[in-house]
Amino acid sequence: MARTRISDLAADADLDSIDVEPRQKTGLHSRGRRSFLANEALQSAAKAGVSELVVSTDDCRLWPYNDRIYEGLNEENCKSLKEDIQLNGQLQPVVARKDPTGRKKYEIIIGTRRFWACQHIPGKRIQIALIEADDKQAYKIMRSENAERDDTTAYEKAINAKRVIDEIYNGSQKNYCLDNNIAEGTLSNWMAIVDMEPEIVAAIPNMFELSANQAAKLRTVMNKTAKAKKAVLDLASELKGGELNTAAVMKKLIVAGEEAAKPKARRAVEKTYAVAGDKKGLTIKRAVSGAVTIKVSKTAAEDKAALIKALTKHLD
């Protein structure tokens, strides 16, 4: 088969005339085409040429660093896409490379949902754009595509970033951020999800609904004091298996931590000591502000030794 550029994949297609509801389009419709052809990382990988093939889904597997969790896909959340492909055909190819492990013929870099849908359609055929890319190039390609679509969850991004940093960037968060144009603050918020204690994860009914901001706020609250952390973990254990949704669970955990982290309100304290036979010979009062007032009766003042002994007792 002749080799062609990525930009030629849709050259002869009348893409904008396809009569499909916008939310159901899966091919190179206006937004998808802009994303596909403007993907600099993809264009870079395509310099050596790209082959367009139709292959069996049985010959494909997902690239292990794909940031969409395949296990989270099902008939319910892929129904419209599956029906669209059955009705209109696969309008946009997935992007793949040859599988370097030899376990399958191809690894799919972009197009997890399309891969799932094609696996569950009779015939199990899938159109792929075959490129040459190493792991770092593949990651840039995938991130560029998904950043444009912005349809992966914070949880998926966090789990994926942790794995890529550990296995592709040798544990260097800085190099990961620099290489992929990701703000360190953004990565820090993702890591707040990855680093959650098991008790908290068990209390959250759906990790896919968790936001990075929620996770970062909870982490900040828990880091305030040991008491705040304990309060959060204790409540998380109580909420496990309950009927609250993810947002409600996170709100309760954050509030619990904030309340536990608050300093105790001071109360005015007054103590009286008997000195020289006078039951109220020495009165020491500490105000809410922390100011201390000492009141000595006339009788107590005449017995300095007894007075000093009472003061020493108080200080001890």
Per-residue pLDDT reduced to its tens digit, 49-59: 567 889 999 99
Q: Which domains does the chain have, with CATH numbers?
A: 6-152 (3.90.1530.10), 196-261 (no CATH), 269-315 (no CATH)
The whole model's pTM is what?
0.62
Q: In the predicted model, what is the mean pLDDT of residues 173-201?
A: 94
What are the tens digits of pLDDT across the range 214-267?
999 999 999 999 999 999 999 999 999 999 999 999 999 999 999 999 887 778
Q: In the chain, where does DSSP find H-type helix?
A: 30-38, 40-45, 75-88, 112-119, 135-149, 154-167, 173-180, 184-194, 198-203, 212-222, 226-239, 246-261, 298-301, 304-315
**Residue 306 in contact with residue 276, Cβ under 8 Å?**
yes
Task: Give the CA-trace dihedral at 249, 252, 258, 263, to 10 degrees.
Answer: -140
